[in-house]
Structure 1
Amino acid sequence: MRKLLFIFALMISMPKVSAQDKTITTSGDILQMAIPAAALASTFIWKDDTTKPTWQFVKAYGSSLVMQQALKHIVQKPRPDGSDNFSFPSGHTTSAFSGAAFIQRRYGWKYGVPSYLLASFVGYSRIQAKKHDGWDVLAGATIGIGTAYLFTKPYQKKAVDVSLQRINGGFMMLFYYTF
C-alpha cells in the first residue's frame, strides 16, 4: 500500500507538460470509463455464480458515484479553473479508482497494480487540466477504493478439489484439477 501511495504522490506532483495537455486530458477522460468497463467485463469472463461478481461491481461502482455526487452538491467547492461544475471530490478519479480497486480486490495485485497506475494517471490528468486539486483527487480515490473494498469479495478459483465416493463396498478418492 505504501508503494501505491508513493506512485500516486509521484503522479500528482509531476511537472506540467504543456504540449501534451490536451492528450493527457483526453486520455484521462477515456480511462475513467475504460477501467470500470474492464472491471465489469471481467465479471462476465470469469464467472463465479456463488458470489455474483456483476452485482458486487454494480453495488461498488454505483455507491461510489452516488457518494461522489452527493459530496459535490454538499461541499460545492469551486473548480480551480473557475468552470461551472463543483470540484470536490473528483468524479473521474472516483470512477477510475472504483474500477481499479474492484479489479485488485477481485483478482489480486497482479492485475491491481496496472489498474491502480492507470487510475493514478486519471487523477493526474484532472490536476493538470486544472479541474481538480490534490485533495479532490485523493477524496475521489478514497471513495472509489473504499466502496470497492466494502462490496467486493475476492475470486476464489479452486485449483484442486478432492472428494470421496463409495463404490462397490469400497471408496474411491477423486482429484479434480481446474485450470
Structure 2
Amino acid sequence: MKTLIFFLTVFTAFPALAFDNDTAGTSGDVLRILLPAAAYSATVVNNDKEGAKEFLKSFSANIAATYSLKEFIKKDRPDGSGDDSFPSGHASMAFQAASFLQERYGRMYGMPAYALAAYTSWTRLAVDEHDIEDVSVGAALGIASGLIFTSPSGKAVLFPLIGRHTFGLSFSARW
C-alpha cells in the first residue's frame, strides 16, 4: 500500500509541474533515471536476487538496442538539436522499468510505473526533442526488453477483475 501511495503522489505531482517546457523537460529527465532506479530498488527491498539479475539483463539489452539504433539511424530531432532522435532513450528506459515492475511484481507496481513512463514520453514530445514515432518505438523497445528478460516473482497475486460485463477476482501464482 505504501508503494501505491508513493507512486500516486509522484504521478499526480508531475502533471501539475509540467506547464512550461523547462519543467516538463526536467521532470522527464528525472523520471528517465528514477524509474529504472526504483525498479532495481524493488529487487533490493524484496531481497530478490533473481529479479535483480533479470532487471540488469533487461536494462542492458534495452540500452544496447536503443543506442545502437540511434547510432545507426541518425534521425534529426524536431528541434534541430542533434541527429539522435530515433528511438527515444527516455521512453525506452522508462518503459523498460515499468515493464519489469509489471512482469516481476504485478499491477500494484506496474500500473503506476506505466503511467509515469507515459508521462516521461509525453515530456519528450512537449519539449520538441522527439516526435510520436520516436517515443512509440522507444516505448516498444523498453516493453519488449522487459517482457523478454523478466519472469514473475513467484509470489501469489490476487487482484480484482472488472470489465464491462464481468467482475471477479484473478489469482496468479508460479510454482
Helix, strand or coil for the counterpart of 1:86?
coil
- Name the structure 1 match of 2:74: 76
- When residues 18 and 44 of structure 1 are mapped into structure 2, their CA distance, relative to the original with a 3 A threshold, is closer
- When residues 150 and 19 of structure 1 are mapped into structure 2, their CA distance, relative to the original with a 3 A threshold, is closer
CA deviation profile, 1:75-129 (whole Å, cap 9, x unmatched)? 1110000012410000011111111111111111122111000000110000111
Displacement of 1:63: 0.4
Alignment of 1:19-98 (within 5 A): 19-49=19-49, 52-98=50-96
Pair 1:128 & 2:139 matched = no
**Separation in 2 of the partners of 1:45 and 1:111?**
13
Among residues 145, 151, 164, which one is paired with 2:143 in the alignment? 145
TM-score normalized by structure 1? 0.75
Q: Larger Cα Rg: Structure 1 or Structure 2?
A: 1
Runs of 4+ residues over 2 Å off in structure 1: none
Q: Unmatched 5+ residue regions in structure 1?
A: 1-16, 160-179
TM-score normalized by structure 2? 0.76
Displacement of 1:24: 1.0
RMSD: 1.8
**Separation in 2 of the partners of 1:146 and 1:68?**
12
- Name the structure 2 match of 1:111: 109
Helix, strand or coil for the counterpart of 1:156?
coil
